[in-house]
C-alpha cells in the first residue's frame, strides 16, 4: 500500500510541471532575422519575460518574406493560440493579417510597423513598437546640444554643420522617419546643416564601416557629424573613423545612433559614440508578452488590464536620449 502511494506521488511530481507547461498559451514568434543585434536583444527579452507565462516557439526568417509566410502557416498548423510576428517586409504584413483573421487567431506585430489601413482591417491585430519620429527628433536634439557645447567642432568655421547620414533598410518606417525627423529637429533647434551625402547600410555594422570609409575618402575632414539610423551602423562608422585616425588623440567627431544596444553603451562609455536614443527592448518585450497573455485568455486589452498606452491597437513605447 505504502509502495503504491509512493509511486503515485512520484508520478504526480513528474507530471505536475508537464501539465503546468501544457496549460501555458502556445505562442508562435517569427522574427525577421537572427543576425540583427537589436532584434536578438528584443527576442531575448521576450523569451525572458514570457518565462512561466507563455509557451514560446521562436523561429527566424533570415530576411525572406516567403520563408516567414511558410513559418507562420506552420505555426497555425501546430495549433498556436497567438501569433507574434516581426515581419520581414512591413508592407507584406497585410498577408499575415489576412491569414490570422482567416484562422481567427490574434496577431501581434512588432518592430516593423504595418500600414495603418492593413492593421485596421482585423480587430485582433496589434502593433507594438516605438515612435520613430520622436527618436529622430531626439537624435537631432542631441546633435544640436553637442554643437552648442562644442562650437569648435564646426571644423571649417562656416556656421553650417556638414554631416553624413547612414540609413537603415529602405522602406522601413524607422529608417525613413528617423532620417526625416532628425534633420527637422536640428533645424528647429537652430542648427544650420548641410547633408554632404547619405548612404544605405541596411542596419549592418559591416556595411556602416564600408560606407563610412568610402565617405571619408570622398569628403575627408569636411565631415563634421555622423547620424546613423541605428547603433550598429554608427559603430561601423566609428570603426572606419578610428582607422582614419579619429578618437586616438584630440581628433574627434560626434556620431549619433539609435537603439542603446550593449555594444553601443560600451562605445559611449569609451567616448567614441557621442550619443544614442534608447529603443527600449525590455518595455517592448513586456508589452508583447502582456498582450499575448491577455489575447490568449480571450480578453481584449483595456486601460485597466494593460499597462501601456494604446491607440488604434498600436502601442508605442517611449524613447529617451542617452549620452555619457
Which residues here bind ligand GAL, judged by CB under 6 A?
A: 36, 38-39, 111-112, 174, 203, 230, 232, 258-259, 279
Q: Which three cell numbers stand for residue 220?
A: 575627408
8 A C-beta contact, residue 112 and residue 32: yes
List beta partners, residue 161.
Answer: 193
Residue 83 has phi, psi (to 5 degrees) of -105, 135
8 A C-beta contact, residue 282 and residue 38: no
Phi-psi region of 171 (alpha: psi -120 to 50; beta: other; left: phi over 0): left
Smallest Cα–Cα separation from 81: which of 41, 108, 116, 60? 108
Whole-number minimum distance, CB 65 to ligand GAL, in Å?
13
Of 25 and 114, which CB lies nearer to ligand GAL in the complex structure? 114
Whole-number minimum distance, CB 256 to ligand GAL, in Å?
13
Whole-number minimum distance, CB 167 to ligand GAL, in Å?
11
Of 68 and 230, which CB lies nearer to ligand GAL in the complex structure? 230
Residue 150 has phi, psi (to 5 degrees) of -130, 65
Of 66 and 251, which CB lies nearer to ligand GAL in the complex structure? 66
d(CA 173, CA 290): 24
Of 54 and 264, which CB lies nearer to ligand GAL in the complex structure? 264
Of 127 and 147, which CB lies nearer to ligand GAL in the complex structure? 127
Whole-number minimum distance, CB 38 to ligand GAL, in Å?
3
In the block, residue with C-alpha cell 547619405: 198
Whole-number minimum distance, CB 95 to ligand GAL, in Å?
18
Amino acid at each position: 500500500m505504502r509502495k503504491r502511494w509512493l509511486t503515485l506521488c512520484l508520478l504526480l511530481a513528474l507530471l505536475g510541471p508537464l501539465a503546468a507547461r501544457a496549460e501555458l498559451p502556445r505562442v508562435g514568434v517569427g522574427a525577421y532575422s537572427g543576425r540583427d543585434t537589436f532584434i536578438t536583444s528584443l527576442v531575448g527579452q521576450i523569451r525572458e519575460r514570457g518565462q512561466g507565462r507563455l509557451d514560446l516557439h521562436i523561429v527566424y526568417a533570415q530576411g525572406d518574406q516567403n520563408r516567414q509566410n511558410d513559418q507562420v502557416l506552420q505555426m497555425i498548423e501546430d495549433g498556436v493560440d497567438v501569433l507574434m510576428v516581426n515581419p520581414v517586409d512591413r508592407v507584406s504584413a497585410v498577408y499575415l493579417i489576412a491569414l490570422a483573421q482567416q484562422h481567427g487567431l490574434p496577431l501581434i506585430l512588432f518592430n516593423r510597423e504595418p500600414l495603418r489601413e492593413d492593421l485596421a482591417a482585423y480587430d485582433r491585430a496589434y502593433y507594438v513598437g516605438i515612435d520613430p519620429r520622436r527618436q529622430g527628433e531626439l537624435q537631432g536634439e542631441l546633435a544640436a546640444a553637442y554643437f552648442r557645447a562644442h562650437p569648435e567642432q564646426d571644423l571649417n568655421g562656416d556656421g553650417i554643420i556638414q554631416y553624413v547620414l547612414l540609413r537603415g533598410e529602405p522602406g522601413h518606417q524607422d529608417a525613413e522617419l528617423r532620417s526625416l525627423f532628425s534633420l527637422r529637429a536640428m533645424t528647429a533647434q537652430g542648427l544650420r546643416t548641410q547633408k554632404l551625402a547619405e548612404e544605405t547600410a541596411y542596419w549592418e555594422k559591416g556595411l556602416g564601416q564600408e560606407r563610412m570609409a568610402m565617405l571619408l575618402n570622398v569628403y575627408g575632414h569636411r565631415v563634421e557629424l555622423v547620424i546613423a539610423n541605428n547603433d550598429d551602423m554608427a559603430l561601423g562608422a566609428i570603426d572606419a573613423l578610428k582607422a582614419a585616425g579619429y578618437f586616438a588623440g584630440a581628433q574627434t567627431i560626434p556620431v549619433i545612433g539609435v537603439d542603446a544596444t550593449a555594444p553601443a553603451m560600451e562605445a559611449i562609455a569609451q567616448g567614441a559614440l557621442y550619443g544614442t536614443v534608447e529603443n527600449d527592448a525590455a518595455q517592448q518585450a513586456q508589452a508583447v508578452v502582456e498582450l499575448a497573455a491577455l489575447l490568449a485568455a480571450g480578453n481584449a486589452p483595456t486601460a485597466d488590464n494593460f499597462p501601456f498606452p494604446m491607440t488604434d491597437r498600436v502601442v508605442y513605447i517611449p524613447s529617451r536620449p542617452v549620452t555619457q
